[in-house]
Amino acid sequence: MNLEESTKIVTTNTPKKFLTAGTNRIKLRPLTKASIVVRVTLMSLLLLTLYGFLTFNYAGVGLFEGIWTMLGNFKTMFVNTHFKHFTFGTALYQVLITLGLALLTTLFGAIIALFLALFAAKNLGSSYVSNAIKGFVAFIRAVPTVLWVLIFAVSAGLGSVAAIVGMTFHSVGYLIKAYSESFEELDDGVIEALRGSGANWWQVVFQAVLPSSMTYLISWTFLRFEINFGVAIAMGAAAGAGGIGYEMFMASGFYLDLKEVGAITYFILTFAILLEIFATKIKGRLKVRM
């Protein structure tokens, strides 16, 4: 039997619907209630955006004129930078204050979250306790960090205390979710083997759960530290916590000095890049050791 005869046999014995399936349009994603809601929401947001652009009061400023002015402001900020109202040493000191705020809130949040995440993980504790903790931290994450800082500022007053407590509160909610999900990815067979050999709950945690999840814990902690660094900059102005954020607020809102704002922005970007490099090296060394 040659190739042509075998091809004829396959074509003859194959149902017609399979031969013509390539020409028909296959509907991969049928419309559901969820997809309809998503599409209607996106279309509504698009229409509201277009309506906002059309009805916005531009105060006689044209589009190209506004773009040209913006580029000029960027040139003033990032090319002609200077320190006028404070020195280089003062800026460095204020950045270290912001780093201190981020470090304290991350450290406090990680310690509290690590303990609560052990009970929030479904493979380590009761499902009722796990659901209760996860529901509570979901509420914490739903409220922005700025609002938590302002809530605690009612009792502690605006300043570094309210900023640290509010940022720590939100960090706990964020890290509990991250840590507990890392614990839940652990193989259940390892836990059952340790329990079968007579290990208690703490021995399971220290001999299996924490060593296996250490890389993930370090990664999530550094990620939250980077987030807290950015939040601490905003809290320096919004909550009066000090640091480089307060200096940027003064330069942009009080002195109206774009050149100084550019210099502060360079400081923030430099330290953010250094933090990323440091975190990458730490995680790389940890993977090598493990």
Tell me the per-residue pLDDT of 8-18, one tens digit each, with 9 for 90 and over.
Answer: 444 555 554 44
Residue at 28 is within a domain: no
Number of other CB atoms surrounding residue 280 within 10 Å: 11
Q: With contact defined as beta carbons under 8 Å apart, do 267 and 244 qualify?
A: yes
Tell me the per-residue pLDDT of 94-151, one tens digit each, with 9 for 90 and over.
Answer: 888 889 899 999 999 999 999 999 999 888 878 888 899 999 999 988 888 888 888 8
Tell me the per-residue pLDDT of 68-101, one tens digit each, with 9 for 90 and over.
Answer: 888 888 888 888 888 787 788 888 888 888 898 9
Residue at 177 is within a domain: yes
What is the Cα–Cα distance from 278 to 207, expressed in whole angstroms?
28
- Residue 141 is inside which H or E element, if any? helix 127-142
Give me the CATH number covering residue 108: 1.10.3720.10
Residue at 66 is within a domain: no
Has residue 237 got a pLDDT over 80? no
CB neighbour list of residue 274: distance below 8 Å, 6 or more residues apart: none
Residue at 257 is within a domain: yes
Mean pLDDT of the chain: 81
- Highest mean predicted confidence (pLDDT) among 58-72, 238-252, 264-278: 264-278
Residue at 229 is within a domain: yes
Q: Regarding predicted confidence, which is higher, 29 or 35?
A: 35
Label residues 11-39 b or e (16+ Cβ within 10 Å = b). Answer: eeeeeeeeeeeeeeeeeeeeeeeeeeeee
Give just the sign of the alpha carbon dihedral 213, 215, 220, 224: positive
Q: State the total domains in the chain.
A: 1
Single pTM value for the model: 0.73
* Residue range(s) defining the domain that contains residue 158: 90-289
- How much of the chain, in percent, has pLDDT values that exceed 90? 14
Residue at 137 is within a domain: yes
Residue at 265 is within a domain: yes
Residue at 241 is within a domain: yes
